[in-house]
Each structure stands twice: as C-alpha cells, then as structure tokens.
Amino acid sequence: EVQLVESGGGLVQPGGSLRLSCAASGFTFSTYWMSWVRQAPGTGLEWVANIKQDGSEKHYVDSVKGRFTISRDNAKNSLYLQMNSLRVEDTAVYYCARVGVTGTMWDYWGQGTLVTVSS
C-alpha cells in the first residue's frame, strides 16, 4: 500500500525557517517524480515544487523561488522541503504527492502538515 507521511509543520514567525519531511513507503520511491502541493486555510490548491527521480531537475512556483528548496534522499525514501524567509501568505497545509507514471497527475497524497506563519 502506497503511503506518504508528512512531518515538520508548526508555528513559525515571519522570516523564519522550517523543514518539512515526507516518508514514503509501499512503492519504489526512486522511480517517481515527487511534489509538494499546498492549501491555504479555506482556499484552493497550489502546486509548490517538483523534483525528478534522481534530484537532477527541480521546478518551483514563482512565489517560492529563492526561498524554498525541494530535495530527496532515495536511500531513505524521503522527500524534503526547506522553507526559508517564510511569509504570512505561506500559511497552509502542505501535502507531499507522488507524480503518476504518465507524469501528468498526482496519484497519491499524504495527509498533510500544517505550517502557520504568524507573529
């Protein structure tokens, strides 16, 4: 059974940093693109970042470029999101999601971890 379990969320002040983790199991992690997708309270979904199977290619939404870094450790079946210079508008539930084999959709999602940026 595919499982994605996020951790690392919490309350942080504006300008602060946080590192999210996602532990994957039930599939061959190293053969899939992976993503982070977020959802601000009471609003819709926003893709944040993608990373290729070997970590050689990464993509980010414009609003987080230069502040967030996606990475992975295939030996540990883990995905990460390093978030620096956090802003109030980064407050959201952050989901780890697997990119399906066609490369065009997210076929499995974690339960999400809440990041709150507030003074």
Partner 1 sequence: IQMTQSPSSLSASVGDRVTITCRASQRISSSLNWYRQKPGKAPNLLIYAASSLQSGVPSRFSGSGSGTDFTLTISSLQPEDFATYYCQQSYSIPGTFGQGTKVEIK
Tell me which residue of 40, 41, 39, 37 sits closest to 4, measured CA to CA.
37
Interface pattern 96-115 for partner 1 (x via CB under 8 A): ----x-x-xxxx-xxxx---
Binding partner 1 (rule: CB under 8 A), the pick from 24, 80, 95, 115 is: 95
Stretch 12-51: interaction string toward partner 1, x if CB under 8 A: --------------------------------xxxx--x-
**What minimum distance in Å lies between the beta carbon of 90 and partner 1?**
16
Residue 57 C-beta: closest distance to partner 1, Å: 11
Residues 6+ apart with CB under 8 A from 22: 4, 5, 6, 7, 34, 36, 78, 79, 80, 96, 110
- Give least dist CB 37 to partner 1, A: 8
Q: How far is CA 41 from CA 47, 71, 93, 94, 114, in A?
A: 15, 25, 8, 11, 10
Interface residues with partner 1 (CB under 8 A) are: 44-47, 50, 59, 61-62, 95, 100, 102, 104-107, 109-112
